[in-house]
Chains A and B, each alone.
Chain A
Amino acid sequence: MSDVLDRPDAKAGFATVGTRPVRPDGVDKVTGRAAFGADFAMPGQLTGRVKRSPHAHARIVSIDARKALALPGVKAVVTGADFPDLASEIVEGGEAASNMRDMAVNVIARDKVLYEGHAVAAVAAVSAAIAEEALDLIEVKYEPLAHVIDVEAAMASSAPVLHDHIFTDGVDPKPTLPSNIAKRHQFARGDVEAALAAAEVRVEGRYTTKAVHQGYIEPHACVASMSADGQAQIWSSSQGHFMVRAYSAKILGLDISDIRVTPAEIGGGFGGKTVIYLEPLALALSRQAGAPVKMVMSRDEVFRATGPTSGGVIHVRLGATRDGKITAADVELKYQAGAFPGSPVGAACMTALACYDIADFRIVGWDVVTNSPKVAAYRAPGAPATAFGVECAVDELAKKLGVDPIELRIKNGARDGVKAAYGPTFQNIGYIETLEAVKTHPHYALKLGPNQGRGIAAGFWFNVGGESTAACHIGEDGTATVVTGNPDIGGSRASMAIMAAEVLGIPVDNVRPVIADTASIGYSMLTGGSRTTFATGMAVVRAAEKVVGELKRRAAGVWSVPEDQVAWEGGRAVCLDPAKGDVKPLTLKGLAGMSARTGGPISAEVSLNAQGAGPGFGVHLCDVEIDPETGHVKVLRYLVAQDVGRAIHPSYVEGQMQGGAAQGVGWALNEEYVFDADGKMENAGFLDYRVPVASDLPMIDTVMIEVPNPRHPFGAKGVGEVPIVPPLAAVAIAVSEAVGVRMKDLPLSPPKIRAVLDAKAG
């Protein structure tokens, strides 16, 4: 089925697309009325709690839950034994494709625990206090094993092996001994060694990052209810309730149609809620107890037991001519996958050189398991850490060549017609325009003072399309309801209303977007991959177009003219037939009012698999100031420029740009998982896992470049993920300038800065 749509004449401008109406769910959100995952309750519900491993790596010798079950008020206890063992099955999640079997074991351990916090049992009781008491009564005997967390340590032949069924994929000959190296990825073109040898100028650097968490403020939460006949209901906050349904069904061995999932509002996800942790436990407990079970994670559990993203090592070698043409690039990435294979290192390889036009290159990526929580997607998974290394190396090259860093990127930049490092030839991209926008921005001309530094960095993300369903219903009074199946993380609901209003030709306030449960709307892939405005928006537009087609047909019937003699303009059917003389147009409201007589309800639903998502590019400019006494870094100014395709609702596009940048600043300056000698996380709370606060940041300026994606009816490109890719390097380069030393190990927390300053002085 074709998914390219006839677009309204772009030259005429848009009535609603590009405006900034107040979001339709806004009042509920500012009054506290909006219901998030933990705000829901079912009558008779029990409280569920999870017992978690205190060891980073151990064999489970035995679990005895008898005392817990005997405690008055305890209604159910489950362990790994209550869940089916799944066969190995790759879940098509794109770059972080994981194995269903691994996901099931991550939800609740079977014979081994693989990280501190790994779930080993769960209880449901009539109160939280009794549930907590019951956890202490569950006796688990462990045989602790040696653990390993650092990625290079995990790759060593002497490392403790997590899984004896992992034999490194992607190396020839295939190893005969199991190891923690799950896979080797390689992307290459030409002869990088020869090109490097022939290069007139070379730079080389080894960069490191630590595991960081998505840091959503809302902990995971759900209420699940399974009846005696095997039918289940789940209320849960996630990035995709169809995903919740699918994974719950798989992990418990249920039919998909037996589970109905209603999406709660979601308090942040950033990729971390594209997988599930609690729902299968809550369902299993509910089945055993015969009552609904509510489960909410504590912040401590969120840190210890839900996926952060990989920490890793990024090694970069670049070669160039003396006049600034980059001729060779060799990149090696080592990424922590956490307890099971599936780090985003594959995608990292594909994004590593995407901003550049380089003839000869090799990119190698290692996916390595470690005794830390299984990594989950985090906004442009894999790309930020790799961009950190590559962009810092490019900056070093610029300095060595004595060339302006923006000019160097323009000279070597990806543009239409360039064959991307990951394969396809680029078209309709706006990278060069984005670089030019930063170059000419007043910020770039500002002079810096003592202890200050400036960093510029670029970033790329593919963005995806995928399966979406949308329905458009016209009410009897001519107002419209638009129904989709994508949770709204960042204001996408407003964009759905805008796009439908544009097509229908009615005010945006007359369009109400609704996010329906899994039984009430057709399938939709989850909210992630920067896909919602692109793919679900496409479905919304097509559904609205179908409605317009139907309205025209009704009007043609009323006027007794052929259908091709009716046009839809400004929310009204207009008669084009000259033979009919002066015919008054029929408004949407008018047609809706007579819908029963003219054929029945006016409604359309469209399901599609959106293709041709346009990639996004961003360029960030960051100025910092160091306090030499404390090593504290202050961000003075920050500019985000990005090719957004078309800003459907500019305020929310700006919001994505600013939010992604802020997360990147935190990743660069303070955030990291700190583990003690036993492999336990030391900073599992917001006090010591330091995310940016309001006083850490200045206003974040934004420049939106619009190079439309012709595959989307309004030219939209995904915008949510690109902005987290450049900031790590932009900040690190700025700090390096300010201290006079190339900083290569994130985060750049005050002790690190002080150590560098001390070394300089001493």
Chain B
Amino acid sequence: MSKKHITATVNGDPAEFLTDPGTTLLDALRDELGLTGSKEGCGSGDCGACSVIVDGRLVCSCLMLAVEAEGRRIETIEGLAHGSELHPLQQKFLEHAALQCGFCTPGLLVASKALLDANPDPTEEEARYWLAGNLCRCTGYDKVIRAVLDAAAEMRQERRVA
């Protein structure tokens, strides 16, 4: 079977690649586009390490076919910072030591961004349930949740000032 030609927008930039119909979006991002920030932890949509945002919606890229990306807007971990300016979530994760091995961190950050896009003032419980699809084996989630809530507070403050 011949490869399909896919055109999409990835992190705001035009992107195109060739892919087998059976390839997941995760593999296409990693192998065709060289965006290795999204990780495979399980390949079955249970761990969230492959989290990306597609047309504004949080998605496990291991559960989506690359061909489904045609014409869509995709945001990955690589697009979270703007040049050398880290996103508040990234900054707070560092300040709160909300990562240990760092493998689940890209997925957690993307999922957290999706959370704050949908709900800029989540409670601790809302944050925990939203992020329940992102497994972390190192931290026990305590510092992760603190970082997310702190980033949310800072972003609300920035919006007020701006």
Contact = CB atoms under 8 A, between A and B. Distances in A.
Given A217-B103, A489-B101, A691-B137, A36 B39 contact: yes
Given A29-B105, A32-B76, A694-B128, A38 B137 contact: no
Interface string B133-155: 11111111111111000000000
Q: Is the interface of B mostly helix, strand, loop or mixed?
A: loop
A695 B123 CA distance: 12
Nearest to A664: B140
A23 B49 CA distance: 21
Interface in A522-580: none
Contacts of B114: none
9 contacts: A29-B102, A217-B104, A267-B39, A267-B103, A652-B97, A686-B47, A687-B46, A694-B136, A697-B142
B81 interface: yes
A146 interface: no
Contacts of A61: none
B140 A687 contact: no
A167 interface: no
A693 B143 contact: no
Contact of A655 (B41, B43, B135, B138): B138
Interface in B61-78: 76-78
B135 A700 contact: no
B143 A655 contact: yes
A69 B140 CA distance: 46
A662 B37 contact: no
Contacts of B93: 26, 30
A663 interface: yes
Given A268-B138, A655-B97, A655-B140, 13 more contacts: A27-B90, A29-B102, A30-B93, A34-B102, A215-B137, A219-B41, A298-B43, A491-B97, A651-B97, A658-B140, A658-B142, A662-B140, A699-B146
B99 interface: yes
Interface of A: 20, 22-23, 25-27, 29-36, 38-39, 129, 214-219, 265-270, 296, 298-299, 489-491, 651-652, 654-656, 658-659, 661-663, 685-687, 691-697, 699-700
Contacts of B30: 39
Contacts of B142: 658, 697, 699-700
Interface size class of B (residues with CB under 8 A): 35 or more
Given A32-B37, A268-B137, A694 B100 contact: no
A685 B46 contact: yes
Contact of B135 (A22, A26, A296, A693): A693
A651 B143 contact: yes
B77 A31 contact: yes
Contacts of B137: 214-217, 268, 270, 659, 662-663, 691
**Most chain A C-beta atoms within 10 Å of own C-beta, residue among B40, B96, B129, B134:** B40
B40 A659 contact: no
Contacts, number: 178
Contacts of B144: 694
A32 B140 contact: no
A20 B132 contact: no
Contacts of B106: 30, 32
A658 B142 CA distance: 7
Contacts of A696: 132
B131 interface: yes
A238 to B, nearest CB: 12
A27 B100 CA distance: 13
Nearest to B44: A685
A268 B99 CA distance: 11
Contacts of A490: 100-101, 138
Given A490-B138, A695-B129, A658 B143 contact: yes
A266 B101 contact: yes
A685 B47 CA distance: 10
Contact of A38 (B40, B47, B81, B90): B40
Contacts of B86: 27, 30-31
Contacts of B125: 695
Given A129-B20, A686-B44, A695-B129, A489 B141 contact: no
Contact of A299 (B43, B97, B124): B43
A659 B140 contact: yes
A29 B44 CA distance: 23
A270 B101 CA distance: 11
A491 B138 CA distance: 11
Nearest to B144: A694
Nearest to A665: B140
B34 to A, nearest CB: 9
